[in-house]
Amino acid sequence: MVQASGVWTGGLYLRQPVGGEGIASVIVNHLKLLVGGVQLRDGVVTVSDILGRIFTRAGFHVLAMERGYASTIYGAHQYDPIVVAEEPPVSWGDPEIDILVALDYDSNPDAQEQPNRDTILRHSKYLKDGGLLVYDSSTGDIHTEALERRGIKIFPIPARNIARDELKRDVVKNVVTVGALFRLLEFDRDATHLRALLEERFLRKGREIVDLNLRAAQRGLEVVESVLKAKSWTNVGYRLEPRPTKEPMLLLSGNDALSMGAIRAGCRYYAGYPITPASAILEFMEEHLPKFGGRAMQGQNERESIRAAIGAAITGVRSMVGTSGPGLSLKVEEFGVSGVSEVPMVIVDTQRAGPSTGMPTKSEQGDLFLVAYGGHGEIPRIVLAPATQEECYTLMIDAHNLADKYQCPVFFLTDLNLSEGRKVVPQSFFEQQAVTIDRSTLVREGDLRRDGTYKRFVFTPSGISPRLVPGTVGGVIKVTGSEHDERGFVSTDPATRKAMMEKRARKMETYLKEDAKPPQVFGKPEGKPVLVGWGSTRPLLLDAQQRLRARGTETAVVHFTHLWPFHTAAAKPLLEKASAVISVEQNFSGQFADLVQTYCLIPVRRIVKYNGLPIYASDVVGGTEQILRNGTQHVRVGVEAPAPVKVSEGD
């Protein structure tokens, strides 16, 4: 009998067998796998969804922040990397993977080497030595000699043939692959977790559907066991051992979390227009908002949606719109309407790669200047950018309170990776959050004097005027997009114009004093290089900080969620102590670096990436070392083609 002792090494839990000669060490409960195939044919999303849900229920932390797909409907390559760990992963890491699951069963005609699989051509170079390749061999085996020389274990699974010829249902081919993968990981051998999920999804359609899927998983298991026996392998180097769950865990996207936050904050009207990657917010709100007495509307176009939301907000309903870059550009005039008429509005921008249509399914942080400066004229506005699913929830609550208090547009910046990426969050996180809905600037009927003295835009030291909604007995209001006096009547009087512009500007001075949050600081900036980030970059910056420390370079991380108005008083004292300030961003020019440099009068170096792929921790480590070693001012990373073979994606 083999006994095992455990030890933590580099964040991985290694079980090292004792007394089992010839048996390799096994990595337990920490791996990264990638599922790939043809979009809308091979079921990449289905497989990754099954794996994510089951691993979550088995007590693991799941992080899947890079869902790669094309803007075409059918036929392009699709992939989904997933990190599975016993402890919460620091970040999504690097492109390297432990297990590659190729669901595509036919060859890429553009490749020189035949036969092949597109997923393997694109991603096998990222497989770690000693890793695993699982592929659909229904149309024959492929050449894997080069991979085998790297110690990679190959598992050809004729999943499509099994589903079509044996089980007579093509649709279950992916469950064959899931069963094979579970056997490789020595996970769910009795199919307890898989059965529970299948019954949850399909039992209403009949027990035979559940049993069919279970037979498919069993056949995948049997194929793996035949390969293990033929190769005389006792294990494959990886194992998942379920952990007892102390509480319910939720696998959430950023869009899910911010939508939940909006509803919890009292948002009762949402308007949107289908656009990647914001469409999921509209779908979530259409399903759930009516349960809380709210309404979601799909406008005929982008401008109609924000105009409807402005109308709802004028009546006193907390309102929100969601879009991405192209839609946001169409809404610019309404930014000004919200700002000058002092109508609260939360505007979600799920950033994607631009300009114009750009790359609709690729992530970027390219809209910061648009939300901070966009529009003719000048208005008060607030810009927030969460880093995680948890902050998508908590900051969204803050966003609605800030919009109500300052009666201006509040922009909520996510990006495609955060919007669509999934992460495990304990249910207790949401239950423990104390939610305050602050509507203190809203005037109630009992607070009104009935003498006609109410002025909707009255000048105040804070710039914030008491807000009345139409129909309140005892008050008269007028709303206009033109410049106006304190009662809302259109005015071009120079003195009135000057006073009204200054009144609106004072709101941002009040915000900086009362509500703007300083950046989060990790480490001590004094005399050290400081990595600066905003939005979804925080996890990878913390990962890079750990890696740089292991390589002998101590750094600090300063991360911003409250971007505009820029909080100079909070940022400058931190950053001016650094030996070098390095901004890490997913755009071409380093937009936030420009803000820091402008308002802090500190030179800022930049690490930027703009090829559509996420920034990886190794990008930051390499860029930082290049800056510190060579004095480089502007490092552009990710310049190599992401795939080893040129293929047509169709987008």
pLDDT digits (tens, 9 = 90+) for 400-439: 999 999 999 999 999 999 999 999 999 999 999 889 999 9
How does strand 409-415 pair with strand 153-157? unpaired
The answer to whether 578 and 530 have CB atoms below 8 angstroms apart is yes
CB 381 within 8 A of CB 413: no
- Taking residues 189-214, report their average pLDDT: 95
- 30's enclosing H/E stretch is strand 30-38
pLDDT in tens, 133-153: 999 999 999 999 999 999 999
The percentage of the chain sitting over the pLDDT mark of 70, rounded to a whole number, equals 93
What mean pLDDT comes out for the span 120-145? 94
Average pLDDT, the chain: 92
Q: Which residues pair with 349 in a beta bridge?
A: 323, 413
| One-letter identity of residue 174 | N
How much is the average pLDDT of 232-260? 95
For residues 517 and 560, give the distance between their C-alpha atoms in angstroms, rounded to a whole number: 9
Query: What's residue 11's pLDDT?
Result: 36
Average pLDDT over residues 613-631: 96
Confidence of residue 15 (pLDDT cuts 50, 70, 90): very low
Distance CA 111, CA 122 (A): 11
- The more confidently predicted of residues 11 and 609 is 609
Tokens (6 digits) for 452: 């006609």
pLDDT at 231 over 70: yes
**Domains observed in the chain:** 26-239 (3.40.920.10), 251-432 (3.40.50.970), 441-515 (no CATH), 520-636 (3.40.50.920)
Mean per-residue pLDDT, 623-649:
74
Average pLDDT over residues 485-498: 97
- Angle of helix 207-231 relative to helix 192-202, nearest 10 degrees? 150
Kindly state the tokens that stand for 80: 């989904």
Report which of residues 23 and 279 the model is more confident about.
279
Q: Which two tokens stand for residue 149?
A: 């020389």
pLDDT, tens digit, for every residue of 320-364?
A: 999 999 999 999 999 999 999 999 999 999 999 999 999 999 999
- Asked if pLDDT for residue 24 goes beyond 80, the answer is no
